[in-house]
Amino acid sequence: MAVIIDGKAVSDRIKSEIALENKKLMDDIGVMPGLAVIIVGNDSASKIYVSNKIKACEKVGFYSEKIQLSEKISQKELVARIEELNNRVDIDGILVQLPLPKHISEKVVLGKIDPRKDVDCFSPFNVGRITINDYRFLPCTPAGVMELLKETGVELAGKNCVVIGRSNIVGKPMAMMLINESATVTVCHSKTVNLPEITSKADILISAVGKPKFVTADMVKDGAIVIDVGINHDENGKLCGDVDFNAVEPKAGYITPVPGGVGPMTIAMLMKNTIMAAKANAILNVKSAGKTKAAKSKSDK
Ligand code: BQF
């Protein structure tokens, strides 16, 4: 019998804390964090994710702007829209909902987001900073996983962690963040040989694969912490993760459900990154206003 980690409850708690922090920010220095969410095309899953993000902004009291663009938009036009947002003082966070249409390079587009506004933490500069354990932002999904691990109270140093999946968005940064906490980390993927042998030695097993019932009971060590990052649909169209929950739950020590596990935490961490960006940008904006004033008084003389 596993303890079920309630990601929805943890995310609600974090969002309440952010709402309080936000009120204080507005009362103290009159700053309201602003998030711009760009969505290109009409992918139905992306629409749900974007609406979750806009709703969360309303809940914590941020300004938000949904920017719906045609799937026919050129890469050049999209980059121009990002540059516009980079230059706006009322926008602290910019995110481009992925995936993008095939004719647009995600690498080019993500590279154009001002690193100070990169609340998804996908730009090369911010990704590099995770690697050297000197970062401002963390990518939302792995950061959410770290919060859920913290919730168990289990010490991470020295633990055997296995991450299944090597994406730039989840697997790779997840591995870096666990290494930064002194865990021993193995990253598995589609070419891994004898996956069950590796996963069954994991104290902490994190699956980010994208296939229903991919993680079966034989792959899990007794008492392990099992974190399910997958967001899939089962044969009946119901939301499910990568883990065969009913089979694995009796064997695990802790387990996250889908829905209501990592998913809501992703959104909560986006709010955390956005308020952090707003605080840093507020200082910058004051500084640059000061410079403008200084330049003006100089030119007045
Ligand atoms: C829940 C995402 C794959 C590819 C791109 C709550 C979300 C999901 C589930 C959500 C995800 C997944 C998001 C639940 C954002 C997480 O209750 O279980 C929230 O909105 N997510 C995304 O923006 O892009 C993705 C998964």
Which of 214, 212, 257 is CA-nearest to residue 232? 212
List the residue whose alpha carbon is closest to atom 20 of ligand 1.
49
Which of 298, 207, 185, 219 is CA-nearest to residue 258? 207
CB hemisphere CA count around 38 (13 angstroms): 31
Confidence of residue 49 (pLDDT cuts 50, 70, 90): very high
Q: Is there a catalytic annotation at residue 97?
A: yes
The reply to whether ligand 1 has any atom less than 6 angstroms from the CB of 264 is yes
The reply to whether ligand 1 has any atom less than 6 angstroms from the CB of 256 is no
Q: What are 246-266's pLDDT values in tens digits? A: 999 999 999 999 999 999 999
- In this prediction, residue 293 carries a pLDDT of 56
| Cα–ligand 1 centroid distance for 94 (angstroms) | 17
Which residue is associated with the tokens 């947002």?
85
Q: How far apart are CA 223 and CA 226, in angstroms?
A: 9
**Contact indicator for 212, 234 with CB cutoff of 8 Å:** yes
Q: What are 22-45's pLDDT values in tens digits? A: 999 999 999 999 999 999 999 999
- In this prediction, residue 288 carries a pLDDT of 77
**Contact indicator for 174, 143 with CB cutoff of 8 Å:** no
Domain range annotation of the chain: 29-115, 140-262
Could you tell me which residues come within 8 angstroms of residue 237 by beta carbon, excluding any fewer than 6 positions away?
Answer: none
Q: Which of 92, 114, 118, 120 is catalytic?
A: 120
| Cα–ligand 1 centroid distance for 15 (angstroms) | 16
Q: Pocket of ligand 1, candidates 255, 266, 274: which has the most ligand atoms within 8 Å of its Cβ, to mutate? A: 266
Instruction: Given CATH 3.40.50.720, say whether it is the number of domain 140-262.
Output: yes
Average pLDDT for residues 118-122, to the nearest whole number?
Answer: 97
Tokens of 38: 């760009």
Residue 231 pLDDT more than 90?
A: yes
List the residue whose alpha carbon is closest to atom 15 of ligand 1.
49
The reply to whether ligand 1 has any atom less than 6 angstroms from the CB of 115 is no
In the chain, count of helices (H) and strands (E)? 10, 11
For 243, which DSSP code?
A: B
Q: Which atom of ligand 1 is nearest to the CA of 8?
A: 17
- In this prediction, residue 284 carries a pLDDT of 82
List the beta bridge partners of residue 239: 233
Q: Which CATH superfamily is domain 29-115 in?
A: Leucine Dehydrogenase, chain A, domain 1 (3.40.50.10860)
Q: Is there a catalytic annotation at residue 72?
A: no
By the 10 Å C-beta count (0-12 exposed, 13-18 middle, 19+ buried), 232 is classed as: middle
Predicted TM-score (pTM) of this structure:
0.96
**Contact indicator for 157, 150 with CB cutoff of 8 Å:** no
N-terminal to C-terminal alpha carbon distance within the chain: 76
**What value does the mean pLDDT of the chain take?**
95
